[in-house]
A and B are shown apart, each in its own frame.
Chain A
Amino acid sequence: MTYIAKPKFHHPGLTKNRLGYTHRDYEGKISTLCAGCGHDSITASIIEACYELSIEPHRVAKISGIGCSSKTPDYFLGNSHGFNSVHGRMPSVLTGANLANRDLIYLGVSGDGDSASIGFGQFAHSIRRGVNMTYIVENNGVYGLTKGQFSATADRGSKSKKGVINTDSAVDLVAIALQLGASFVARSFSGDKTQLVPLIAAAIEHKGAAFLDVISPCIAFNNHAGSTKSFDYVREHNDAVNRLDVLTGREPIAVDYAPGTVQVVEQHDGSKIALRKIDADYDAHDRVGALAFLQKHAAKGQIVTGLLYVDPDSEDLHSHLNTVEQPLNRLEADVLCPGSAALDKINASLR
């Protein structure tokens, strides 16, 4: 653990975003994770994405559970709201917060233990309800905090640091998110920020449940030969289907790629994603095709990364429930509690 604080000085030539902030303004405390942890790269990518989107830090709520991954919200967006919940309960807390105040940007940060084991049910229901959030799983396939047992996302046949072979089947959170109706599903790798940063930015801009599975090597317990979540393994088996450019603001789109290789996806808030196809056969609007593609490649030992599915016409929980437009904290008491006459009316309608 690094004991000194990160120096306040920054490069004198740092660029500023629309709000006048540098990327350093989106940092949190110094990381207490092991040196070289993939999670720190995801932290840096979240910082970069929020900086690029010129997000006001006080408009963000970062919510997490328990685990190495769930510690990371302390390391980014030091001026944002945060809630470090019970193990596996991030999705529930996030859903509740979102219902109370729909105006905030919700960043759910979880790990493979938090989401694929103890919080598996919570994860599933927040996705199927379409909560408007960015749900990031920092997936290292191992229980780092308890010294390296296989997690539920460890591939069958992969080897632990001690040499034990995993005999259980792996939970593929991406496949499950697709099945459960997530309207934005992506997978990326902590060691590839050029892919990861725009994916996070696009997920934040997305309205609805955006799920992002980020493979993040555990430097202490899962970065050895025989691991399928090590830097070397992921680099060798990474099959990126596309690359993104997130275009914010109102500038006209100018992309200089060969025709047919770029697809522009417009999201709800008017922001646009330029999707550069790497695999010409891959269609990011086909949920069923995505599932098949994913499983076909998984069988070959390949890790499919990129924006795997996006529904440009997505909806979220609030539109399903037809809730009031305003966050609850901005409603006056007489609106929130209209009195016994209104209650009587409701009761009568249910008789």
Chain B
Amino acid sequence: MKPTDISAPDYFHKVVDCQWACPAHTPVPEYIRLIAEGRYSDAYMINWKSNVFPGILGRTCDRPCEPACRRGRVEENPVAICRLKRVAADFKDDIKSRLPRAGARNGKRIAIIGGGPASLTVARDLAPLGYHCTVFDQDPKAGGMMRTQIPKFRLPDSVIDEETDYILGLGIEFKGGHRIDSLKKLLSENYDAIFVGSGAPRGRELDIPGRKEAAANIHIGIDWLSSVSFGHTDKIGRRVIVLGGGNTAMDCCRTARRLGGEDVRVIVRSGFEEMKASPWEKEDAMHEDIPILNFMVPIAFVHNNGKLTGVTFQKVKAEYDAKGKRSLVPSGEADETINCDDVLVAVGQENAFPWIERDCGIEFDKWNMPKVDPKTMGSTHPKVFFGGDAAFGPKNIIWAVAHGHDAALSIHRLISGEDVQERPLPQVHVSSQKMGIHEWSYDNDISDDKRFKVPHRDKVVALKDIRAEVELGYDVKLALGEAQRCLNCDVQTVFSASLCIECDACVDICPMDCITFTQNGDEADLRKRLKAPSQHVDQDLYVSSDLKTGRVMVKDEDVCLHCGLCAERCPTGAWDMQKYLIDMTHAGTSCPSRARSAA
């Protein structure tokens, strides 16, 4: 293999698995260290800069970082990154003075459709640069699905108000209760750019017999949740069936439990394991005595003269073809009818753009989705950009934020007369953490603690009050313990071949057997000759240039604990621990293209 080019910004970024997995590339280990130091406001601001909604995401994020967390490859559970983010939000001081101010007006006007996470991110990135941003939303308050679809017992209004206010306080014009019905009309108002962040507002229907007749007691999940959120709905029948296996279904069933549902069941077509809902959301539902029944396909709503009495299900089983593709086939068991008073249908969400005229310059694909460039978030209309669920269908908040950053950058470049396709490289800082012979500016002692549980409100109390937040969040002591579990993957092992005397000290001390000195070869061959078996080929090998004996140093990045013992036991300083920080390029980042600092 060729020697690894550690000056490429992506190389060390990939080693920070959590940050690499995060769509917004939040510098996770950096803020976790700040939490361990008790610097909650600093930790919050790092999050705020990169993911805009630390308090909201700290409660609701889909956490792509956690399955990626290196700790999960070393022991059973990853670091509770998401809940640590909430700690930063819970314990911070007043940070208002640290927020940017609205920039001097540059005379450019941006229309932003929808007041959800993607839209607010665009507004936040552009307002400090002097843009006049106008956000339109059909609801009276900003927040979009974060406010209407996520139940208050998971995400209190106060948190949404606080974090949307930080953004609206940047001089953004918010037009609540203002629905956009025609893009053509908006285009005619001569905005310099338009951002569409209108979400995926339509709940998928379940068209089976009885749907129309029993409609009074059959509710579309997201509409019902938003009706609950606004206080229009405050009760439900005693026996409730929730159809669907995603996170919306989990929110529906738990909300139903609080509005009078005593016998609430979730029923899914697929197997329990394949459900789309996050494992922790399933756990939370089951903890509230909600059984999840699987391999049952709803085939009819049963009713008595229009009064819903139950749902009939066909029993199925999974079969896999030669390619491993799954299909659900009848199991041969008798159909089962389960009695109920109400049904909540949460079988998916769809986009709907009835308000975008098909002749206004925006092309749609065969699925009736706008054609959007995933790099620039631009549509086929040069001035119209998409983001969040409106761009590629339902995803989650953190993806919406990432889209928002990219779209804001595009809009800024478009209006500045720059090429939208050209994306400035991120800034990278790499600096040694050595303080003394065996002293590092980070805590390199690896904690053996297992993942700490987040305290929950007592179930009886929680189920009585739909606004009582179930999770209480870590206290300072638990947060410190959990923060210590972070392996500091951003403190990189940097190797200088010219200093190495091949004494083997690093090989001998490495607790994870990551380091091998051997003859060079191609990657597949090298992976076979490592000191410990290479289990994840997606994890890079760090290969040095040739050493004195003609061998090379090969480090499998996979399970490195970043404990720095290789550097401590190195007599010549050939190993050093260097902190890698990457600043993703946002709108207004003042760095010329292709210029960056690197190792």
Cβ of B441 to closest chain A Cβ, rounded Å: 15
Whether a CB of chain A sits under 8 angstroms from the CB of B568 is yes
The 0/1 profile, CB within 8 Å of B marked 1, for residues 13-54 of chain A is 111000000001000001100111110110110000000000
Cα–Cα, bound, A40→B74 (Å): 25
The 0/1 profile, CB within 8 Å of A marked 1, for residues 488-506 of chain B is 0000000000000111110
Cα–Cα, bound, A41→B507 (Å): 9
Whether a CB of chain B sits under 8 angstroms from the CB of A246 is no
- Of B448, B501, B535, B565, which is within 8 A of A2 by CB? B565
Contact B512 A36 (CB under 8 A): no
Contact A10 B448 (CB under 8 A): no
Cα–Cα, bound, A34→B569 (Å): 8
Contacts of A5 in B (CB 8 A): 445
Whether a CB of chain A sits under 8 angstroms from the CB of B177 is no
Cβ of B196 to closest chain A Cβ, rounded Å: 46
Whether a CB of chain A sits under 8 angstroms from the CB of B75 is yes
Whether a CB of chain A sits under 8 angstroms from the CB of B159 is no
Q: Known contacts being A2-B565, A7-B511, A12-B73, is A37 close to B505, with CB within 8 Å?
A: yes
Contact B512 A35 (CB under 8 A): no
Q: Known contacts being A2-B565, A6-B509, A43-B508, is A191 close to B535, with CB within 8 Å?
A: no
Contact B505 A191 (CB under 8 A): no
Contact B503 A2 (CB under 8 A): no
Cβ of B534 to closest chain A Cβ, rounded Å: 8
Main secondary structure of the interface of B (DSSP, over half): loop
Contact B532 A13 (CB under 8 A): yes
The 0/1 profile, CB within 8 Å of B marked 1, for residues 181-198 of chain A is 000000000110100000
Whether a CB of chain A sits under 8 angstroms from the CB of B262 is no
Whether a CB of chain A sits under 8 angstroms from the CB of B570 is yes
Most buried by B among A3, A7, A13, A40: A7
Size of chain A's interface in residues, with CB distance under 8 A? 36
Cβ of B310 to closest chain A Cβ, rounded Å: 48
Q: Known contacts being A1-B438, A4-B444, is A9 close to B501, with CB within 8 Å?
A: no
Cα–Cα, bound, A4→B572 (Å): 20
Contacts of A235 in B (CB 8 A): 548-549
Whether a CB of chain B sits under 8 angstroms from the CB of A219 is yes
Contacts of A41 in B (CB 8 A): 503-505, 508
Contact B535 A12 (CB under 8 A): yes
Mark out the residues of chain B between 9 and 68 whose CB falls within 8 Å of any chain A CB in the assembled complex.
none
Cβ of A345 to closest chain B Cβ, rounded Å: 57
Contact B511 A9 (CB under 8 A): yes
Cα–Cα, bound, A3→B559 (Å): 22
Whether a CB of chain B sits under 8 angstroms from the CB of A144 is no
Contacts of B508 in A (CB 8 A): 40-41, 43-44
Cβ of B1 to closest chain A Cβ, rounded Å: 21
Contact B438 A13 (CB under 8 A): no
Cα–Cα, bound, A233→B549 (Å): 12
Cβ of B559 to closest chain A Cβ, rounded Å: 6
Contact A219 B503 (CB under 8 A): yes
Cα–Cα, bound, A231→B565 (Å): 22
Contact B571 A219 (CB under 8 A): yes
The 0/1 profile, CB within 8 Å of B marked 1, for residues 138-173 of chain A is 000000000000000000000000000000000000
- Of A15, A24, A193, which is within 8 A of B504 by CB? A193
Cα–Cα, bound, A15→B532 (Å): 8
Whether a CB of chain B sits under 8 angstroms from the CB of A330 is no
24 A-B residue pairs with CB within 8 Å: A1-B438, A3-B438, A4-B446, A4-B565, A6-B511, A9-B75, A9-B446, A10-B512, A11-B512, A11-B532, A14-B513, A31-B569, A35-B571, A36-B503, A36-B570, A38-B503, A40-B504, A40-B505, A40-B509, A41-B504, A44-B507, A190-B504, A191-B503, A223-B501
Known pairs A4-B565, A11-B512 / 8 extra A-B pairs, C-beta < 8 Å: A7-B563, A9-B448, A14-B532, A35-B505, A43-B508, A44-B508, A190-B504, A235-B548
- Listed from nearest, the 8 A-B pairs whose CB atoms lie closest are A36-B571, A7-B446, A44-B508, A11-B532, A13-B533, A4-B445, A36-B503, A7-B511
